[in-house]
Chain A
């Protein structure tokens, strides 16, 4: 499973970083990015799902590969 943030939708609420700090970080402008290459480690899947549904801009996309 891979995760990415749609930068055109992200508005810097930073909920993702609160719920899954090991997966998301925030850039100098306050917008979220995915750490590393976007591959979700199995132990982070629940945290990422939590982040997805808590993003007010619906900006987090998870893809099953």
Chain B
């Protein structure tokens, strides 16, 4: 099969679809087969914690990034032989391909010793379950995890009149996204929306109650309290997939180079096997491994693989972008806003409450955070190139 043109994509989420879609646009739709484990037409995930959770079924199936003209197979892939480029599907089929792209994505992580009643939001089915619970009268929820996902869910549920408590051991909300910055602001937004945000503590005990979804939980050394439901938003873990055919263990995240090629234990790219999306880590100049769960990152990575397969030159990766909408605010993060950086207000939106913050490390700008400051964020991004060279004077 080597030298052939067939491309097998394992996973039909945004990342896998981006590779497939770019190949299809280049006239290669006939070469592409996508294996998707979820028995549902492709859909976009960001609305799941927002509009979709809040109200009617507005989820658009077949979003523009999902190609219809490639072959779709609704079957999970259980194992992949990276050396032979062979897959084994859940239904027992064995297939080989010239090129394999691993885009299996991740599932919600649940901390150990949690009741089976704990809900997550990763799929449309998950969001429907939670929405139905609220619709049938559940009005007191405990959310574990104060990352963007946990706070988006809290914000949406609070708007629906639900009493929400969010608990997280981190000292600040959205610690990984905001690096500890804007903690007072996020706390104030939560408070004004009636959401109780408990930081620096964790759920120490939880039991089922007699009601069908109810949970009794203890936070820190506080009393046991009753909730109508509990939601876990403590991050993700790679979907299970057995990989073999390398000379050593495959790491999690799967390490890949800038073209998305999977690296073997010696750090050399494995022939014609790629990985994309939440499951992939990239070695940084300082030796650390960076992984991104961002929507725009899945796009950028998918496009890099497609360009490599099509023999097109690589594009310069744009500055990382992440957003979250919660408590009536649009929060946009550009660049890397890690711990140990300094923040200051760079611009205020005239006549409104929006602000653009500049984040620097040792005096060098490393990121920007916009809160209801979309125009200012846009004016930075269109300057292109490296974030450190962006000029605020033009904003």
A interface residues (Cβ-Cβ under 8 A, vs B): 11-15, 17-18, 21, 26-31, 49, 52-56, 58, 60
8 closest A-B pairs by CB: A30-B374, A12-B374, A14-B378, A30-B375, A26-B378, A53-B65, A18-B381, A58-B63
**Chain B residue, CB-CB nearest to A16:** B378
The complex places the Cα of A56 from the Cα of B18 at a distance, in Å, of: 13
* Residues on the B chain within 8 Å of A29, using CB: 374-375
- CB <8 Å contact, B296 and A15: yes
The complex places the Cα of A17 from the Cα of B379 at a distance, in Å, of: 9
* Residues on the A chain within 8 Å of B65, using CB: 53
* Residues on the A chain within 8 Å of B381, using CB: 14, 17-18
Q: List 17 A-B contacts (CB under 8 A).
A: A11-B374, A12-B330, A14-B374, A14-B382, A17-B382, A26-B374, A26-B375, A29-B375, A31-B374, A49-B25, A53-B64, A53-B299, A55-B64, A56-B323, A58-B44, A58-B63, A58-B64
The complex places the Cα of A58 from the Cα of B46 at a distance, in Å, of: 11
The complex places the Cα of A15 from the Cα of B377 at a distance, in Å, of: 11
- CB <8 Å contact, A30 and B378: yes
The complex places the Cα of A49 from the Cα of B330 at a distance, in Å, of: 25
**Chain B residue, CB-CB nearest to A26:** B378
The complex places the Cα of A30 from the Cα of B374 at a distance, in Å, of: 5
B interface residues (Cβ-Cβ under 8 A, vs A): 18, 21, 25, 44, 46, 60, 63-65, 295-296, 299, 318, 321, 323, 325, 330, 332, 373-379, 381-382, 384
The complex places the Cα of A17 from the Cα of B376 at a distance, in Å, of: 13
* Residues on the A chain within 8 Å of B318, using CB: 18
* Residues on the A chain within 8 Å of B21, using CB: 53
- CB <8 Å contact, B18 and A30: no
- Give the interface centre of B44, B64, B376 by most chain A CB atoms within 10 Å: B64
* Residues on the B chain within 8 Å of A17, using CB: 378, 381-382
* Residues on the A chain within 8 Å of B332, using CB: 13
The complex places the Cα of A58 from the Cα of B44 at a distance, in Å, of: 9
Question: Would you give the shortest CB distance from A26 to chain B, in whole angstroms?
Answer: 4
List 4 extra interface pairs beyond A18-B384, A30-B373, A60-B64, CB under 8 A: A11-B325, A14-B382, A18-B381, A29-B375
* Residues on the A chain within 8 Å of B375, using CB: 12, 26-30
The complex places the Cα of A54 from the Cα of B375 at a distance, in Å, of: 18
- CB <8 Å contact, A56 and B25: no
* Residues on the B chain within 8 Å of A30, using CB: 373-378
Question: Would you give the shortest CB distance from A4 to chain B, in whole angstroms?
Answer: 14
* Residues on the A chain within 8 Å of B374, using CB: 11-14, 26, 29-31
Partner of B296, one of A31, A52, A54, A58: A54
The complex places the Cα of A31 from the Cα of B295 at a distance, in Å, of: 19
**Chain B residue, CB-CB nearest to A30:** B374
Partner of A13, one of B44, B323, B373, B382: B323
- CB <8 Å contact, A54 and B299: yes
The complex places the Cα of A36 from the Cα of B320 at a distance, in Å, of: 30
The complex places the Cα of A52 from the Cα of B25 at a distance, in Å, of: 13
The complex places the Cα of A55 from the Cα of B382 at a distance, in Å, of: 15
